[in-house]
Structure 1
Amino acid sequence: MNAPTTTPAPVLSGYLRADGRKGIRNIVVVAYMVECAHHVARLMVNAFPGQPVHLIGFTGCFPNEYADQVMRRLLTHPNVGAVLLVSLGCEGFNKYGLSSAVADSDRPVHTITIQENSGTRPSVSSGVEWISWALEHLAQQTRVPMGLDELVVATICGGSDSTSGISANPAVGVAFDTLIAAGSPCIFEETGELVGCEYHMQRRAVSPELGNAIVETVAKAARYYTIMGHGSFSPGNADGGLTTQEEKSLGAYAKSGSSPIVGILKPGDQPAGGGLYLLDVVPDGEPRFGFPNVSDNAEIVELISCGAHITLFTTGRGSVVGSAISPVIKVCANPQTFERLSDDMDVNAGKILTGEASLEEVGAEIVTAVLDVANGALSRSEDLGHQEFVLTYKQFDAVGPGCFPLRAA
C-alpha cells in the first residue's frame, strides 16, 4: 500500500492568479514592442518612482517565435498583476496575440499605439493614466497562503572567481536540496558553463533517456561555442583566479546540489512539478543570432520565463544587477568582495572561507533569505531599484517526449 502523499504546510503567502499559480509580487509591467517605443514606455514608468511598475521590452522590429514565447510567459508570470503594452505601430511583434494571451489569463491589459495616439506626449499621458488605475486595482488584492511547493527558485552565477566554486555555489546547492525536499521546483542553467560535467548530470537523471538528452544538450552548447569561436569564460574570470573552462564548469555545477534531475526546460517551458530542472539556454540549429547569452540578465529573463519567482545569483568578483518581475538574491562568494559591495549583497558565503560559518549554515541562511523575500521583504537589488532586462533573438525546438516537461500551448 502506498504511503499517502502530503502537501507542505503553507509557510508563505502570495497573490492567487486565475491559473492557480501564486505570485510573490503584484506588479504592473509596461512592455514596449520595439526599440522605437522604448523611450515613451520609459517615460511612463518614470512617473511612478518607488512603485511596483516595471519596464521590459523587445528591441527588434522583426518577429521571432522565441521572443514572442518568452514575452507571453513573462506577462502572464504569477508576479505580474497588470500589463500595459506600448507599440510604435509598424513593428513586427504580434501585439494582438500578446494582448489576447494576457487577457485570457484574467489580468488587466491595455495597449497604446504611439502612431495612433498623436505621438509621445499624448501617449505618455494616456499610459500614466492607465497605470494609475492599474495600481489602484492591484492594491485591492490580498495575499493568500502559499506552500513551498508553489515557489519556483532559480540560480545563476555571474562575475565568478576562484572562490565561487568553493563557497557560494555549493551553498546554493545545499539550499536547492533543502527547497527541493520541501517540494519546490528549482532550476539551474548555463549549459555553456557545464562543459565537462555532462556525465555527472547524466548519472543524476531520473531516466536513461533524460540522461542521454542532458549529454546531448551540453554537446550542443560546446559545438555552438566552438563555431562562434568564444567560450563562456571572461577576462574577469581569469583575473579572479579561474584557470580553465573545466574549473569554471565544476564551480557552476556545484549550484545544482545533489538532488535527482527530473527534466530539461527550454526558455518559456514550465516545470511539471517539484524537483530539479536543467534549463537549456543555447539555441538549436546553426548559429543565427550571434553569441547566445549576451549578459547574465538575458539568462535571468529566461529563468523567469520558466516561472522563477526568485533567482539566486552567486558572484565572486561582484555583480550589482537585479531584474524586472522577479527578485534577485545575491550570494557573494568572496569575503573581500562582500566587504567592498556589502550594500549590494544579500548573503555572505565568504564566511565559509574565513571559517565563520559552515557550508550547511550558509545554505540554511540562503533558504531563510528566499523565504523572507518570498514573503515580501526586499532583496538588496530590489531596494536599490535594479530592474535590468534583456530579451534578444534566439531559436529553439520543442523538447520531448514524455519524460521531459512539454511546452504548454
Structure 2
Amino acid sequence: MLGYPRADGRKGIRNTVVVGYLVECAHHVAREIALPFREADTHVIGFPGCYPNSYAETMMERLCTHPNVGAVLLVSLGCESFNKYRLEQAIRDSGRAVRTIVIQATGGTRTSIAEGRDFVAGQRAVLDAMTPVPMAASDLIVGTICGGSDGTSGITGNPAAGRAFDMLVADGAACIFEETGELIGCEHIMAARAITPDLGHELEASVAKAARYYATLGYGSFAAGNADGGLTTIEEKSMGAYAKSGSSPITGLIKPGDVPSRGGLYLLDVVPDGEVRFGFPNINDNAEIAELIACGCHAVLFVTGRGSVVGSAIAPVVKICANPETYRRMSDDMDVDAGRILEGRATLDEVGAEIRDVVLGLGDGQRTRSEALGHQEFILTYKSFEPIGPACLPAA
C-alpha cells in the first residue's frame, strides 16, 4: 500500500481537496466551486444549520483534518453562527492549506465561485505533485455499516464483512462497527467480548440508551424494505447487523469524532446523549458513514441485500452485496458478490479475504464502484454527545 503523509503522522489513501460550506445558504456556491473538479478528487461537505452545535463543529473539524484530505476551502455566507475562524485555525494547525471565502464580503455568488475555483486549482496542482509513501495495514482505520438489508444480509454479506474485520484487526488495523439501534438483543453477547468488565457495562448501556431513544420516538430501526426482504423482527435484524463485527475482542466504545489511537475493534455509539431533541439518530445511511469517517475511517464497508447505490465524500465506500439476485441486477454498483456464499460458490472465509484485499487495494490506486460512478453523498445534522468515560477505552 501507498499513502499520503500528514503532519500528524497519519497517512491517507486519498489526497482530496474538501470544499466545505458552513451553512445551507453557502451550499450552492460550494457546489459550483467544486463542479469543474468533480473528476479530480474535490469533494463537497458541509453543515446546513444556521445555529451553533458543538457536535457539528467537531464533525467538520475531524472531517477537514481527515488523513484522506490534503487541502480545504471553507465557504461561509457570513452571518451564520458557525465558528469559521476556529475551524480554519484547526485545519491550518494540522499542516493543511486552507482558505475561507465569505460570500457577503467577497461580493456575491460569481466572485466567490471564481476565487474558490482559483484556490482549488492551485491546491490540486500541489497535491497532484506529492509523492506517496509506504503504508501498512496497521495504518488503516476501517468502518462498516449495512443498509437496504434483507434476509440474506445476516447470512452472507454481514458475516463476510466480519471475517474481513478479523483479518484486518489481526494485521493491526482499527475497525469500527456501529448502529446501536440495530444491536438490540445483542448487547450481552457484545459485553462478553469486551476486554474489561467495565467496558462490557458501557456496551450494554449504549444499546439500552438506543432502545430508550427509539421507544420515545415511537420508531425502530426497521424499514418497510427490511420486511419486504424477509426480515421479521428487530432482533433478527440485529443478529445480522451484529455479524459485521466479526469475532475479535472489543477494544473500546467511541462516539462520533473520537479517533482510535491504536488497532483493535471498536463500537461507535451514534445515538445522542440526553433527552430526545433532534429527531431520528440517523436519518439515512450517509449520516452514519459521515460519523465513521469523522472517526478517521479511511474506507467504509457497506453491506446491502436489497441494493444501495450511495457512496461518500472523503472516504471510499466498498459495496458488499449479500443477495445474489440483487448482485446480478446491480453489479455495476457492487464491489463484492457475497451472494456466492448462498449459492455455494464461495465460503465466508474466501469472501472475507476478498473484502480485505479490496480494502488494501484502495491504497494501491484501485477505486471502488461508487467512486467510479461519481457518488459523493454527504449529510450532517444536529446532535448532542457527552465525552466518553475512562471505561470506554481501557488500556488492557
TM > 0.5 fold call: yes
Q: Hey, what does 1:73 align to over in structure 2?
A: 62
CA distance in 2 between counterparts of 1:17 and 1:376 reads 18
Residue 167 of structure 1 and its aligned partner are, at CA, apart by 0.1
Partner in structure 1 of residue 308 of structure 2: 319
Please, which of 17, 34, 38 is the counterpart of residue 27 of structure 2?
38
Helix, strand or coil: the match of 1:301? helix
Among 345, 365, 368, the alignment partner of 2:334 is 345
Partner amino acid, structure 1, of 2:366: A
Moved more, 373-382 or 92-101: 373-382
Aligned 1:123-138 pairs, distance under 5 A: 123-138=112-127
In the other structure, the counterpart of 2:358 is 369
Q: Indicate the SS of the match to 1:112.
A: strand
The yes-or-no answer on 1:268 pairing with 2:257 is yes
Partner of 2:11: 22
Aligned residue-pair number: 395
Check conservation: 2:55, 2:382, Cα contact below 8 A.
yes
Q: Distance in 2 between matches of 1:129 and 1:366?
A: 39
**Which amino acid counterpart does residue 30 of structure 1 have in structure 2?**
V
Q: SS in structure 2 opposite 1:377? A: coil
Distance 1:167 1:374 in 2: 26
Contact 2:251/2:394 (CA < 8 Å) preserved in 1? no
* Displacement of 1:405: 7.2
Q: What is the distance in 2 between the residues matched to 1:142 and 1:250? A: 44
Q: Match of 1:305?
A: 294
Matches within 5 A, 1:76-87: 76-87=65-76
How large is the RMSD of aligned CA atoms in angstroms?
0.9
Letter in 2 for 1:191: T
SS of match in other structure, 2:342: helix
- Whichever residue aligns with residue 331 of structure 2, its letter is S
- Alignment partner of 1:44: what SS? helix
What is the CA distance between 1:20 and its match in structure 2? 0.1
Q: 2 CA distance for matches of 1:36 and 1:159?
A: 32
Report matched runs for 1:6-405 at 5 Å.
12-401=1-390, 403-404=392-393
Aligned-pair identity in percent equals 64
* SS state at 1:111 partner: strand
**Equivalent-residue separation in structure 2 for 1:71 and 1:402 (angstroms):** 26
* 2:341 counterpart SS class: helix
Counterpart Cα distance in 1 of 2:308 and 2:315: 17
Shift of 1:402: 5.4
Deviation digits for residues 126-185 of structure 1, max 9, x if unmatched?
000110001011112111011111111110000000000000000001000000000000
SS in 1 for 2:289: helix
What is the alpha-carbon distance in structure 2 between the residues aligned to residue 30 and residue 150 of structure 1?
26
Which whole-Å CA distance do the structure 2 matches of 1:49 and 1:395 have between them? 33
Q: Whole-Å Cα distance in 1 between the matches of residues 175 and 195 of structure 2?
A: 15
Question: Structure 1 regions of 5+ residues with no counterpart?
Answer: 1-11
Q: Is the 8 A contact 2:145 2:289 kept in 1?
A: yes
Q: Structure 1 runs of 4+ off > 4 angstroms?
A: none
